[in-house]
Amino acid sequence: MLTINRLDDIVEIDFSGPRIDSVVAPQLKVELEQAVVDAPKRIVLDLSAVEFMDSTGLGVFVSLLKKLGADGAIAVAGVRPAVLRLFQLTRLDTLFRIVDDVPAARALVRG
Amino acid sequence: MTSPRQERWCVADVSCSCEATFAGVRLLAERLKAWCATAGVSEPARMDLELALVEAGNNIVRHGYGQKGGDDIGLEITAVAGGVELVLTDRGSPIPQGRLNAIGHPEFDSESGRGLALITACTDRIAYTESREGNRLVLFKALC
């Protein structure tokens, strides 16, 4: 489900599945938590392959953000229309930093 | 006076059911997507309908049946005057009285509790009844 690329200062996480929903959310939460153990707290999430996400999937990302703590940063790249709609309806587009692509996300979390 | 049901579009309605699991809800979403494609529903409206359906189905699985499985969720999709109507039926625990009248957004850092707010945001009218025959959630989405 995930491809994880650890750079020196960033963890890039690429989601391969087309749906992040209640079917996959529990396993996804476990994998994400493992991905950020002893890793940089700057995270890039590439959602370009994700066509649909529900509030359970969104809750996994909220959990990840909380786990990173105050000095953590997450940028979300490649958000497709249905997923962007979810972020906007829940107003979490104000909490997560959403950008067009992975290079922009890298630049954003690097500050 | 013509009732909404007499003014249906010229497409077949859908009546189906699934096991009350999250995987089952996925199947219902696939049926809805197929119907929307056939009916020519716009992509923004289709996205809202799918999200509302999935959130409602998830709530039935999680809260109605307590994730025990072993029962069904019914879905009817009907083109009605001015829009689309989704009817979800189940025999689980009903939504607590008053819950649908007090829907708010949870805290930003909450990891759950957004389902009903999303259903409301994605649809134009919600009706809910519970009876000995089961629970019935009707979601109406207006189409321009």
Q: Tell me the backbone φ, ψ of residue B115, rounded to 5 degrees.
A: -60, -55
8 A C-beta contact, residue A3 and residue A32: no
Partners of residue A58 in chain B, C-beta under 8 Å: 114
Nearest to B115 among A55, A81, A82 (CB): A55
β-bridge mates for residue A19, sequence order: A52
Min Cα–Cα distance to chain A from B54, Å = 7
Nearby residues of B87 by Cβ (< 8 Å), 6 or more positions away: B74, B75, B76, B78, B136, B137, B138, B139
**pLDDT tens digit sequence for B39-66:** 999 999 999 999 999 999 999 999 999 9
DSSP B96: P
- Asked if the Cβ–Cβ distance from A86 to B108 is below 8 Å, we say no
β-bridge mates for residue B77, sequence order: B14, B86
Q: What pTM did the predictor assign? A: 0.92
Partners of residue B44 in chain A, C-beta under 8 Å: 81, 85
Min Cα–Cα distance to chain B from A80, Å = 11
Q: Which amino acid is at A43?
A: I
The interface pTM score, or ipTM, of the predicted complex is 0.94
**pLDDT tens digit sequence for B2-36:** 444 444 444 448 999 999 999 999 999 999 999 99
